[in-house]
Structure 1
Amino acid sequence: MRAGDIVLVPGADAVDWSQVDVLVEACGRVSHGYRYASSALENGAHVVMVSKEVDTVVGVELSARAAERGLSYLPGDGDQPANLLRLLDWVSAVGLDIVAVGKSGEYDLELDPATGTVTQAGVSVQAPELGDLLELGDDVRATLAARADAVSGLKRAAAADSCEMTVVASRIGMPADVEAMHYPVARIDELADVYAARADGGLVARDGVVDVFSALRLPGEASFAGGVFAVVRTGDRLTWDTLRGKGHVLSRDGRYACVYWPYHYMGVETPLTVHAAVDRAPARPARWTTLLAARATDELPAGTPFAVTGHHHEIAGVAPVMIAPDAAAAPYYLLDGARLRRPVAAGELIGLDDVEGADPGALDAYRAGVARTAHTNGVNR
């Protein structure tokens, strides 16, 4: 390391922490990621937490430990949580009223009008009816429902999306509008209409929520590229009409606007966070305001093992759901390597008492984080 070489070691026990300023934790596994991050903090190293799975379970405790030691604990730029938090810093500084914030799914839905084919991440389905649904029409929610039906053959929701939005929710205190999020199929220029309040024809039942949408585009149109957005109220009609004329995304009634960054350069931006960690840049701490829990999608017998698998780090038999803090419920990613102690019916939340074999270090850290914030009121959270 002193020679400037890249060093590959078998594990945290082989690390000389005196030579480490910042740990970029990116293993994606709660048990290992927690041990690496906690070791770094114990030895005076800052932590850039790229493993969003780890953050949803033990982020509250690690964030608090870092603060107690005068160290940084930050989500990594380049992934959507950190990018969205940066966008929200700007929106808050400007003083705009936030209605909804979020990101697009990792892969756009590309419609070829000539063939009626919709393609997402190399998977194609026939959806010719989408050709007649390219405009929102007068009933936004009805159009969105029809679009969702048209592409029901594609898997659009991913555990990674819920995981990332939980990381954001824990920093800003905004919940999901519905526990599985809305996932509307929407074009970029429609977002201010789609995420308007329900009273104004949109999806949102309350101000200040997080969500994910599936970006619909035609061949040759620019991608949202897994980017991030904030939908805000406009207020001053003259100013925003001027901005509409310059191509900014406003709702048709002029009451809402969408501010967005159509990119997330994974890994490319992370050095910015490394510098921010060393500089002790101000950061929003993690708080226990939203729990990424697990709801059974199947009848699960006692003894069912759980394992995180696949590109999107999902667990068979359970779906990730974003719920209000619940000390009895098990965090979704804490289930990795655990098994059921009792049968669980389809539709039930998996409880902490329902499982055994969860990583003991991560479980203790999760409970410690809960204890730090469970007694505070919603404002303080």
Structure 2
Amino acid sequence: MVTSPVHPPQPSTPVRVALTGARGGFGRTFLAQVRAVPRLVVTQLIDPDTAGVATMLDELGFGVDARERAALVASADAVDWADIDVLVEATGRIDAGYDYASTAIAHGVHVVMVSKEVESLAGVSLSAAATAVGVRYLPGDGDQPANLLRLLDWVERTGLEVVALGKSGEYDLVLDPAAGTVTQLDETVDTPDLPGLLTLGDDVTATLAARASAVSALKRSAAADSCEMAVVSLYSGAHADVEALHYPVARPDELADIYAARADGGIRMRDRVVDVFSMLRLPGEASFAGGVFAVVRTNDPVTWQLLRGKGHIVSRSGEYACLYWPYHAMGVETVLTVLDAFDGTAPARTPRQHTVLAARAAAPLSAGTRFRVEGHHHEIAGVATAIVDREVAAGVAPYYLLSGAALTRDVAEGELIELADLDEMPAGALGAFTQGFAL
């Protein structure tokens, strides 16, 4: 085990990279970009589908030398930790992902965490373990948590006070005013009232309620969104304004008005909150692309009136402004975090369990119910995500610790699932959460 700090290497030093979950969509975007960064040398690609990984390498045009250098590894017991400088953890599974990350740290390997599920419950303890042995543990750029934290760093270095921060949902709501329909990805619904709601009007909350009603046939929230905001909470100290997030249907130029305080006509009940909005746009308009935003208090009316004239988003009252980055480019950006981890150039952040991503029963649940994480958004049937403050979270089970676990008692609709209610939780991840909550 490494016991002394790692000295920053020279910028030209090659970086040996291993990637878990290599066959996934993120893995492909990361590997496609690695080819353009000569310093990055892929030494191990870890995924049970080694044949699929080999095919993907061929599709991406990896040369013979790169193919020969990269070992295709099917399981953890075949990993050669001595041949890795930075592990990119992207399994999305709490048991495997935690084990890979903790083992990497124990072997003196830096970790770039892409599996937000692992981060949400074990990030605090993994970060502490990395600090103790002198390696780096960083959330990966390209996913919204790291991007949002980067934006937050930039904004707060200017001295601006951030009152709300968040991202747009994964899929835009594209309104066709002539047809009176909205399309979200590949689903189209009739929304005859929505064309008349394109402006906020004087009553912001009433307009938002009417928009939400107009698109109520569409599923706009996802466990992944709450998980990402819970990760942001770890590093920023921000809390959820409401445990299920607000999800206003909004156009980007409205965000400063929407995330004003309630007393100022907005929706926000407290300061420094995380949230997600559903992007509303017309056909042909640019997407927010799952990007990130920060709403700040303005400090000088003349300055912000000047910025409003230059196209910046300033609330109608002039009291708030919104700064944003309309993108998250997945693995394309993660190469930057890998270099930051190796070179020691990333900002220092110490996560704490300010909130817990919990599970609230969406219906009555019987003792013996076994939970499974399923689908593209890694959701669990029968429970809804809830971001709860640390002060009320003692004994509450993190959402993703339910993965594979079984209920030991009947749980009424609306109850939070507690650790004492579960059996057969992943031992490593459970221990990591318990340790991290105590820090």
Q: 1:378 matched to which residue of 2?
A: none
Asked if residue 336 in structure 1 is aligned to residue 403 in structure 2, the reply is: yes
Q: 2:11 matched to which residue of 1?
A: none
Asked if residue 25 in structure 1 is aligned to residue 89 in structure 2, the reply is: yes
Give the AA of the match of 1:328: G
Asked if residue 266 in structure 1 is aligned to residue 330 in structure 2, the reply is: yes
SS at match of 2:276: strand
Q: 2:380 matched to which residue of 1?
A: 315
1:158 to 219, 222, 228: 222
Asked if residue 111 in structure 1 is aligned to residue 175 in structure 2, the reply is: yes
Distance 1:208 1:347 in 2: 26
CA deviation profile, 1:98-157 (whole Å, cap 9, x unmatched): 110000001110000011110111111111101110010000000000000000000000
Q: 1:184 matched to which residue of 2?
A: 248
2:437 to 345, 350, 370: 370
1:289 to 341, 346, 354: 354
Q: 2:134 matched to which residue of 1?
A: 70
SS at match of 2:104: helix
Asked if residue 349 in structure 1 is aligned to residue 383 in structure 2, the reply is: no
State the TM-score, normalizing by the size of structure 1.
Answer: 0.96
Contact kept in structure 2, 1:249 and 1:257, CA below 8 Å: yes
Distance 1:206 1:88 in 2: 18
Q: 1:51 matched to which residue of 2?
A: 115
SS at match of 2:193: helix
- Written as runs of structure 1 = structure 2, the 5 A alignment for 1:93-242 is 93-242=157-306
Q: 1:245 matched to which residue of 2?
A: 309
Asked if residue 305 in structure 1 is aligned to residue 357 in structure 2, the reply is: no
Q: 2:8 matched to which residue of 1?
A: none
RMSD: 1.0
1:91 to 139, 142, 155: 155
- What fraction of aligned residue pairs are identical, expressed as a percent? 66
Contact kept in structure 2, 1:99 and 1:209, CA below 8 Å: yes
Distance 2:430 2:166 in 1: 29
| Structure 2: gaps spanning 5 or more residues | 1-42, 45-64
Distance 2:155 2:133 in 1: 30
Distance 1:361 1:262 in 2: 37
SS at match of 1:8: strand
Deviation at 1:172, TM superposition (A): 0.7
CA deviation profile, 1:214-269 (whole Å, cap 9, x unmatched): 01000111110000000001120111111111111111111111000000001100
Distance 2:208 2:134 in 1: 47
Distance 1:82 1:365 in 2: 21
CA deviation profile, 1:28-54 (whole Å, cap 9, x unmatched): 000000000000000000000000000
CA deviation profile, 1:281-308 (whole Å, cap 9, x unmatched): 2331210101000000011001001000
Q: 1:6 matched to which residue of 2?
A: 70
Q: 1:80 matched to which residue of 2?
A: 144
Structure scoring higher RCO (CA < 8 A, sep ≥ 6) equals 1
Distance 2:284 2:347 in 1: 40
Deviation at 1:6, TM superposition (A): 2.2
State the number of aligned residues: 372
CA deviation profile, 1:53-80 (whole Å, cap 9, x unmatched): 0011111100100011111110100000
Distance 1:204 1:234 in 2: 16
Deviation at 1:368, TM superposition (A): 1.1
Distance 1:16 1:7 in 2: 9
Distance 2:146 2:348 in 1: 10
Distance 2:430 2:298 in 1: 44
Deviation at 1:324, TM superposition (A): 1.0
Give the AA of the match of 1:338: A
State the TM-score, normalizing by the size of structure 2.
Answer: 0.84
Q: 2:33 matched to which residue of 1?
A: none
Distance 2:420 2:322 in 1: 43
Deviation at 1:272, TM superposition (A): 0.2
SS at match of 1:84: helix
Distance 2:347 2:153 in 1: 11
SS at match of 1:66: helix
CA deviation profile, 1:315-346 (whole Å, cap 9, x unmatched): 00000110012121100001000010111010
Contact kept in structure 2, 1:74 and 1:283, CA below 8 Å: no
Give the AA of the match of 1:336: S
1:40 to 95, 104, 115: 104
Contact kept in structure 2, 1:292 and 1:331, CA below 8 Å: yes
Give the AA of the match of 1:290: T
Ranges of 4+ aligned residues in structure 1 off by more than 3 Å: 1-4
Give the AA of the match of 2:134: G
Distance 1:203 1:327 in 2: 28
Larger mean Cα displacement after TM superposition, 346-355 or 9-18: 9-18
Contact kept in structure 2, 1:305 and 1:337, CA below 8 Å: yes
SS at match of 1:305: coil
